Every structure is written in structure tokens, then in C-alpha cells.
Amino acid sequence: MVNLSVDLCGLKLENPVIPASGCFGYGKEFSQFYDISCLGSFSFKGTTLEPRFGNPTPRIAETPGGMLNAVGLQNPGVRHVIAHELPEMKTYFHKPVIANVSGFSVEEYVETCRLLDAEEQVGILEVNISCPNVHGGGMAFGTRADCAAEVAKAVRAVTKKPVFVKLSPNVTDIVSIAKACEDAGADGLSLINTLLGMRVDLKTKKPVLANGMGGLSGPAVFPVALRMVYQVYRAVKIPLMGMGGVSCARDVIEMMLCGATAVQVGAANLVNPYACKEIVEQLPEEMEKLGIRSLQEIIGGAAA
């Protein structure tokens, strides 16, 4: 019998499959399709200190091998999440969840994480540093090692929960940023976020997305995600959650071989609402085909 369980900063997961933030909401809609308790955990909708309406429409577009989105972090704000979403979540998901946190200043990150630290059901804080720094000229926190480290250090100081920093791939050297986050006290890293892309409507001769550009996700980014997880795994000693174009059980195994302890599944959920359930069900068969007895034992195998 194969062993799917993994240990993520002391959080024991029955399997490494985690729906990614932004592609699973708060889990409620998916719980109407299947019992989402079969998942290792899930990362809920990106949460900011104050409510956000998000970007103008259209803000989602299909593209070969994936999709573009410029949703703009639409969410009801952390206080609403704590008062309404988390209590309701307890009725249909009975494991610790991952709280994805966004902010536009270090102070916003700190306050949002401080509030979520008191919530028992939150097992991990996933800090998304792909947001523009309003005090730093609009440049995303995740594009500079010093800015990324500043956020990691500030959040680490206000929470007892494991802090995973979610890294942007839109950089020249993701390894230096990963190491800066580790040195600043991050317990783990999530990578990769979406790659910046765009499409043009040939009839209107204008960008398809109202925002002009958006984040590319889906199978097209999988090789890039693998490369970055592999590079970061070889450079740091903290655990990684790998993501980016994962759509089947074999992708999960490949991502783990490159260094991921757990694997997030994003856009695939929007194509097939059963995607994560099917991956969990397919993993034992794929492991047996490949002679793998325990997923925990293969982490980083390709980087050895």
C-alpha cells in the first residue's frame, strides 16, 4: 500500500493536493460537487485588509494552454472572512486551511495576518507578494529581494502560524528572492504565481482584458514552474508548495521530484470542477506504476 501523506511545517496532510487560491473560492461551490475533505487542504480566496471590488470586466480570457486573469483580488475583506466565511467553512471542511493574504503596504500585510492568526481553522498563512507596493512606486513586493524580506520579517513577527511567502515568477532571479525570504524568517515558500501576459482582440484591435495585461496560468506555465521550484529547492532549506499548470497526478509527482512538499492545483479546477478529486484518486495508481511507496520520500529526488 502506498503512502500519500506529507508533513508541511508540522501540518500533517493526508495527501499533497491543495487547490490554489483564486481558483477554489472558499470551497463552498466545490463542496456541492464532491466531499472536499478528500483534499490535503485548500488555499482560500486571496484576502486583503479591506474589501475590494476588483478590476473592470472583461477580466478573464482563454488562451491556448491556459487562461489569463486580471480579477484584481476581489474579496470581502478579512473581517468579513473571519465573521462569515470561516464559520461556514467549518460545516463542509474539517481540516486546517491555508489563508492567502495580499496587501498594498507592509502594514496591511501585518494587520491582515495578525487578525487571521487568531483563527483556529487557519493552519498556514500564505503571503502573496505579487501585489504592487503603493509606497514603493507601484513595483510588486515580490520583484525585489529586500521588499520581499521586509514583508516576510514583519508578518513573521505577528503570528505563531507557519508563514509561506508566495513568489512571483516575473523576476530575473527568483532564487535570490527566495533566499531573502528564508533569511527573514519565512517558514516556507509557494511558487509560482502567474506569469504576466496579454491577448489582443483582432476585431477591436484592443487588449482582450480591460486591464490590458493579466496573469497567465494553466498547462503552458508548467515547465517554467518546475524549473523555478527545482532552482529554489536547491538553494533553500525550508519546504515548498509548488504550483503552476498542474493538471494531473503525474504532474504532482513531477513537481514533488523537483522539490515540492505539497502541490497546488489552480486553473485545472476551472476547467474541471472534479480535477483535484481525480488527482487524489489517481495518485496511488501512478505511484504503483512508478514504484513509489511514499510521496514524502521522493521530495527533491530530481535535484539530488
Q: List, by residue number, the catalytic residues.
A: 131
CB contact set of 180 (below 8 Å; sequence gap of 6+): 145, 146, 148, 149, 152
> In this structure, what DSSP letter does residue 107 have?
H
Task: Kindly provide the residue ranges of all beta strands, DSSP E only, lying in the chain, ordered along the sequence.
Answer: 6-8, 11-13, 17-19, 43-47, 60-63, 66-69, 97-101, 122-128, 163-166, 188-191, 195-197, 200-201, 206-207, 214-217, 240-242, 262-265
8 A C-beta contact, residue 64 and residue 218:
no
Which residue(s) pair with 242 in the sheet?
191, 263
Q: Which amino acid is at 48?
A: T
Q: What is the three-class DSSP state of 1?
A: coil
CB contact set of 276 (below 8 Å; sequence gap of 6+): 17, 19, 36, 39, 265, 268, 269
User: Which triple of cell numbers denotes residue 269?
Assistant: 479546477
